[in-house]
Amino acid sequence: MNTVVTSKEEILKTSRELIQQQGWSAVNIRSVAAACGVSVGSIYNYFDSKAELVGATVESVWCEIFHRPEDGAVFEDTQACIVWMYERMEYGCKQYPGFFTLHSLGFMREDKSDGKRRMQQTWQHILEGLCSVLKRDANIRADAFTEQFTVEKFANVLFSLMLSALLRQDYDPSSVLEIVRRTLY
């Protein structure tokens, strides 16, 4: 049990630990307060509701899984970026079993609008990152993209393949790398 929770980040860290130890259903105001060693009211100082706590926890899990790597060169090379993303997806599934398949898909229902919004923000951030890498990659053929086949459209394809891999729990990026090689180089 933690000593005294002094920040929102401590609460989110404890929430992530509860997910790892007991699964997603373990995250609620009472269980988080107990795990933090504080009163329920202390959690309400940071989060107005369970939904807000859960939504913030979702966002913090996504951020932990896809935190920026130490080696910034990953974002200069499309193939290196894809390998890194698949490694992070595998890490996420090991650290948070069922998070991608059960939890993320559950947020697509209307009653979980805050979690859905946060997840979509994370997805948008990943898409923007893919676009940025594709634009910076000096190895991509100059004629690879056109007005009809844009960087953004290809990033969407890559992202769709990533989501499909998450659902299948397939963390081998080789087929995606082959598509990238044949399309861009």
Picking from 141, 140, 119, the residue whose alpha carbon sits closest to that of residue 59 is 119
pLDDT at 15 over 90: yes
What is the structure's pLDDT at 68? Answer: 78
Domain extent listing, the chain: 8-47, 62-184
> 96 falls in which pLDDT band (50, 70, 90)?
confident
Q: What is the pTM of this model?
A: 0.82
Q: What's the chain look like in SS3?
A: CCCCCCCHHHHHHHHHHHHHHHCHHHCCHHHHHHHHCCCHHHHHCCCCCHHHHHHHHHHHHHHHHCCCCCCHHHHHCHHHHHHHHHHHHHHHHHHCCCHHHHHHHHCCCHHHHHHHHHHHHHHHHHHHHHHHHHHHCCCCCCCCCCCCCCHHHHHHHHHHHHHHHHHHCCCCCHHHHHHHHHHHC
> 142 falls in which pLDDT band (50, 70, 90)?
very high
Tell me the mean pLDDT in the region 151-156: 97
What is the structure's pLDDT at 107? Answer: 52
> 125 falls in which pLDDT band (50, 70, 90)?
confident
What is the structure's pLDDT at 104? Answer: 54
CB 99 within 8 A of CB 58: no
Mean pLDDT for the chain overall: 87
What is the structure's pLDDT at 70? Answer: 78
- Whole-number percent of the chain with pLDDT over 90: 57
What is the structure's pLDDT at 72? Answer: 80
Tell me the mean pLDDT in the region 5-16: 88
Domain 8-47 = CATH 3.30.365.10: no
CA torsion through residues 69, 168, 172, 25, sign: positive
The per-residue pLDDT for range 32-65, each reduced to its tens digit, is: 999 999 999 999 999 999 989 988 898 899 889 9
The per-residue pLDDT for range 103-122, each reduced to its tens digit, is: 555 554 544 566 667 677 87
